[in-house]
């Protein structure tokens, strides 16, 4: 089975935490939604696939933008996240469709999609060329793919700073460049190569740089976020010594307090750099 590790990770480990922390994640990640939606040029009547839709914040927003007359399918590996997504859609009076499947190998019945979008959900494939070829085959000629992915950790102080503080206490593993994970698409040349080999045309990769304001912008909110979600949370969870964990968290708090002290209005905001990637499906 492809992407077996990711399946297990998003169903058993990260998925339940993303659902628990949904309000905090919604507040944090929503800053990246408008750029993606505008980049995708959505319009009423379109049929859209949201890849790696998670708990559905973007799926619901796409639904609104393609209404009336449009349709949205939110696709994800994680059953628990899809359950939360469906509950959100119902709560917000929208009716996208959700499906648990692996975007790398999923088959799609019926008409092909006008648009494929993803907010940070396409960096986890073990065979990205196969995955993007599969998505292209599901897109109508002239249709388009638009997604956001992270630039390298070094361009992202929201993770570089906490990791550098953590490295004083624990060893930070260095994943192989391009290995499936949040930073797999940091190299734009690699992304372009993958998409072109998968048959996409007119590939454009533009920086979208802003700020990561964790949850409510408080130090406590940021500490909670970093302990629950993302690469640092995995490392903190594995620390066996309570003393080391406490010292690391205390150092993290001091580091974040220093950033907040220097920030306008004392709100904690750390730099965040993504790529907005778009491509078209040739006729």
Ligand X SMILES: C[S@@+](CC[C@H](N)C(=O)[O-])C[C@H]1O[C@@H](n2cnc3c(N)ncnc32)[C@H](O)[C@@H]1O
Interacting residue ranges for ligand X, rule: CB under 6 A: 3, 6, 10, 29, 52-55, 57-58, 75-78, 81, 102-104, 119-121, 124-125
Query: Given the complex with ligand X, which of 53 and 223 has the nearer CB atom?
Result: 53
Query: Given the complex with ligand X, which of 33 and 67 has the nearer CB atom?
Result: 33
Direct distance between the N- and C-terminal alpha carbons of the chain, in angstroms, rounded to an integer: 31
CB of 168 to ligand X, least distance (A): 27
Q: Distance (Å, rounded) from C-alpha 271 to C-alpha 278? A: 23
Query: Given the complex with ligand X, which of 10 and 169 has the nearer CB atom?
Result: 10
CB of 203 to ligand X, least distance (A): 21
Q: Distance (Å, rounded) from C-alpha 207 to C-alpha 55? A: 25
Query: Given the complex with ligand X, which of 55 and 233 has the nearer CB atom?
Result: 55
CB of 180 to ligand X, least distance (A): 8
Q: Distance (Å, rounded) from C-alpha 187 to C-alpha 152? A: 7
Q: Which residues contact 144 (CB under 8 A, 6 or more apart)?
A: 40, 41, 114, 115, 116, 278, 279, 280, 281
* Nearest C-alpha neighbor of 94 from the set 132, 53, 128, 130: 53
Query: Given the complex with ligand X, which of 186 and 260 has the nearer CB atom?
Result: 186
Let me know how many helices (H) and strands (E) the chain has, helices first.
Answer: 12, 7
Query: Given the complex with ligand X, which of 26 and 247 has the nearer CB atom?
Result: 26
Evaluate the CA torsion angle 208, 214, 218, 220 in order and state its sign.
Answer: negative
CB of 34 to ligand X, least distance (A): 13
Instruction: Name the DSSP letter for residue 80.
Output: H
CB of 63 to ligand X, least distance (A): 14
Which residues is 276 bridged to in the sheet?
148, 206
CB of 236 to ligand X, least distance (A): 18
């Amino acid at each position: 089975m492809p992407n077996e590790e990711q399946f297990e990770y998003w169903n058993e480990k990260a998925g339940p935490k993303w659902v628990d922390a949904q309000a905090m994640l919604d507040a944090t990640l929503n800053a990246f939604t408008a750029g993606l939606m505008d980049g995708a040029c959505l319009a009423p009547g379109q049929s859209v696939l949201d890849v790696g839709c998670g708990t559905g914040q973007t799926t619901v927003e796409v639904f609104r933008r393609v209404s009336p007359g449009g349709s949205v399918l939110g696709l994800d590996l994680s059953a628990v996240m899809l359950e939360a997504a469906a509950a959100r859609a119902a709560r917000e009076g929208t009716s996208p469709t959700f499906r648990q499947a692996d975007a790398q190998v999923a088959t799609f019945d019926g008409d092909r999609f006008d648009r494929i979008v993803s907010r940070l959900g396409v960096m986890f494939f073990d065979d990205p060329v196969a995955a993007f070829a599969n998505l292209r085959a599901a897109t109508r000629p002239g249709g388009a793919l638009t997604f956001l992915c992270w630039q390298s950790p070094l361009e992202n102080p929201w993770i570089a700073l906490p990791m550098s503080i953590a490295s004083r206490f624990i060893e930070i593993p260095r994943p192989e460049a391009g290995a499936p994970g949040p930073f797999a698409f940091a190299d734009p040349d690699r992304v372009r190569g993958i998409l072109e080999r998968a048959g996409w045309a007119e590939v454009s990769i533009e920086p979208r740089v802003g700020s990561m304001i964790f949850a409510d912008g408080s130090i406590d909110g940021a500490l909670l976020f970093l302990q629950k979600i993302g690469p640092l949370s995995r490392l903190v969870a594995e620390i066996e010594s309570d003393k080391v964990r406490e010292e690391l968290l205390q150092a993290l708090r001091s580091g974040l307090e220093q950033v907040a002290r220097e920030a306008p209005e004392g709100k904690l905001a750390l730099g965040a750099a993504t790529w907005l990637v778009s491509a078209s499906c040739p006729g």
